Amino acid sequence: MVDEIENRPVVKCSFRLVGNQSEQLLLKPEYSQVTELLFKIETGVVDSVKLFTQGDACLWFLGRPGFVFICLFVSDEEEYIFDDGTGDTTKIEIAGDYWSSFTLCKSQNTVEQIAREFYFHGQLLASKKWNHYVSNDD
């Protein structure tokens, strides 16, 4: 059990309360703390939660009640963005930015499944669709 806790991919978590510009940091967060923060997105208390791995990959949840944008930043050049598969390009406002509806997760259960997979295994939930983007600045 100790090895499992020590070898968890997620080593820190940051979050931002709605209306604040600065983030708060949790080192070695417990999974229950992560799920509590994600629930606070659904209740409108928190608008951003980031989970960081030892290698600095970052899974970002940005949301408001009913809508969560989820993006894995693998590096400065590579990211994966959640896709609900609908192709709906209706714009939804979250924290001052506008996101296409198809890039937003609308199920709290799915948000928690994605967080769980990343927290314990350091990977995206394979049963969901992810758009892969790589920028070439060459």
Note the pLDDT tens digit of each residue in 27-82.
Answer: 999 999 999 999 999 999 999 999 999 888 999 999 999 999 999 999 889 999 99
Could you tell me how many residues make up the chain?
138
Q: How far is CA 11 from CA 3, 50, 87, 133, in A?
A: 14, 11, 34, 25
Query: Token pair 């968890």 is at which residue?
Result: 8
Percentage, residues of the chain above pLDDT 70: 93
pLDDT band at 3 (very low <50, low <70, confident <90, very high): very low
> Domain limits of the chain?
2-133
Predicted pLDDT at 55: 82
- pLDDT for residue 4: 39
Q: What is the pLDDT of residue 5?
A: 39
pLDDT band at 137 (very low <50, low <70, confident <90, very high): low
Report the distance separating Cα 31 and Cα 69, nearest Å: 20
Task: Say if residues 82 and 105 touch (Cβ distance below 8 Å).
Answer: yes
pTM recorded for the entire structure:
0.91
As a whole number of angstroms, the distance between CA 4 and CA 72 comes to 23
Residue 1 has pLDDT above 80, yes or no: no
The residue with greater pLDDT, 8 or 37, is 37
β-strands 97-100, 104-105 pairing: unpaired
* CB within 8 Å of 73: residues ≥ 6 apart: 57, 58, 59, 60, 79
Tell me, what's the pLDDT at 56? 80
